[in-house]
Amino acid sequence: MVSTSDVALLTGWNLVSLNSTPADTTPSSVMNSVNSKITVVWGFNATGKKWELYDPVMPSALNTLKSMGQGKGYWIYATQDCTWTV
C-alpha cells in the first residue's frame, strides 16, 4: 500500500522536504499533482556542491534535478496556492 501526504503550497517560494521516498523519484512524477501550478524546483546536491533545477516546461534533458528523496530540502515556486499530493 502506498501512502500519500498533502502539502499546502502557498503562492511564492516554499521550502519543503519529503517524509518518505516515493516509488518513482523523478521530479516530473513527484511533482505531478502540481506541475501546472509551479515554475521551478531547486534542490542542493551536497556531494557535488551545486544547485540542481527542475522546470516542468523545460525539456527533461535540460533539467539537472534527476531525483527527489526523503530528508532533502527543496525550494518550490508556486504560481498560486495549491495542494501538493506526495
Residue-level pLDDT at 14: 98
Residue whose C-alpha is closest to residue 72's, from 41, 35, 44, 34 = 44
Angle at alpha carbon of residue 8, lines to 25 and 63, rounded to 5°: 35
Which helix (H) or strand (E) segment holds residue 28: the answer is helix 27-30
Taking only the tens place, the pLDDT of each residue in 22-80 is 899 999 999 999 999 999 999 999 999 999 999 999 999 999 999 999 989 999 999 99
CB atoms within 10 A of CB 13: 12
DSSP 33: G
Residue-level pLDDT at 2: 58
Q: Provide the sign of the torsion angle of the four alpha carbons 10, 15, 20, 24, taken in this order.
A: positive
Q: What is the model's pTM?
A: 0.92
Distance of CA 4 to the CA centre of its chain: 15
